Structures are given as C-alpha cells and as structure tokens.
Amino acid sequence: MQVNDTIAMYVEELIGKLGTKKGKKSKNQVEKTTLIPTQANPAYNLSLSGPRPPIWEGQWTKRPPAMTDEEFEKKIAELGTEFAERSVEIGNSGKSASMINKELKNLRDEFENRKGDLMNMYVSVVSPDRKAAYAASNGDHRVSGNETNYRGDNELMYYNSSNGTWAAVSTKAEVERVGKLNNVFSDVITAYEKEHNLKVPYTTISKTWVE
C-alpha cells in the first residue's frame, strides 16, 4: 500500500470520529470512510429508502480560506505546544495511574476536536464542491463529481444506509493537505521533547495520533 493511500485511510478514519463527536456536541471535532453526520429532519421517515441530506457545517466541501496557510500552520503549531505542555503536566501530577490515564484521554479528545476544527477549515480550501455535487445528484445514494479521489475514480460521497450516515471519499489534494498540517503538529511535539529532554506521555494516547 502506498503512503498516500495509508494517509487517506487515516484521514477518513479520523474525520469519522470527529463527525461522531460533533454529533454528540450538538446535543451537548482528519478509517476507512469519512463519516459525515446526517441532518435531523422531522419530515423524514426512516422507513423511506432515500438518504437523508448531510450536515455541511464543519465538513469538507469547497470554502474560501479562513486565513493564510502560514496562519493555519502557526495555529496548529501553537496547538501542538499546548498539547505537549498539558500532557507533561498531567503525567507529572503525582495522581494515580488510572486518573492520569483518564485525564490524558480527555485531553486527547479535546485536542482531536480543536485540531479537527482547524483541519476542516484548512482542508476545505482544496476540497471539491461536494455540496453542489450532492445537489446535482437528485438524491442518489452515491455522489460523483469532476475531481478524482485518491482511489482514482470520481466518487466524492456515498450514503451508508446501515447507519444513516454519509461518507466522503478524500481527494489526493485533501490527503496531502491533512498530511502537511499533521506534520507541523508532530514536528512541534518532537521539538518540545528534544528541547526539554523528556517524552510527552502517551499512556492512553497512541503515538501515531501525532505522526
């Protein structure tokens, strides 16, 4: 499997998790598919065969840039530094291992949301106009466009009737964009560890989360 394919699978998995968490937040943020939460619609009958429309807020579809690339990269670098500092603080708190693990997990969840919010804005700059492609699909379960995804075909989205969610298929440009911002984040973590001669604790946080 090529590197870009591996990154694409990671990207789709991460956004699937973020989509799930955003759904929880509404009642309260880059795996194998990019899950897009569905729009609640009282007029929609789940017994019907047609798919529900997706919620577009926070999802990858063509948008103008919210800031320059340099500003995005500065924001993600600041986020990486804050993550490292707070992780070390938790690891050195002297609390029980179970409490430290719990706090590290909560910290990871918080930063997945914050990192995902930045990622959505950053990636959408190069995203295809999935919203327009969906509107032109006449309610089909699969949405295609003029751009090529990382698999080499033109499918941009599809509807998963088993769980009532939409899944987006990343383009190569989106995959590269995610990889670039993830590298900024991970490089900051590495630099922090070298500067302070320590290891950021990953007791319940997979190291791959920042790689």
Q: How far is CA 115 from the centre of its chain?
A: 8
Question: Residue 11 phi/psi, 5° resolution?
Answer: -60, -50
The tens digit of pLDDT for each residue in 141-194 reads 899 999 999 999 999 999 988 888 888 899 999 999 999 999 999 999 999 999
pTM across the whole model: 0.71
Q: What are the residue ranges spanned by the domains of the chain? A: 3-210
- Please state, in angstroms and rounded to a whole number, the distance separating the CA atoms of residues 38 and 49: 15
The tens digit of pLDDT for each residue in 57-97 reads 878 999 999 999 999 999 999 999 999 999 999 999 999 98
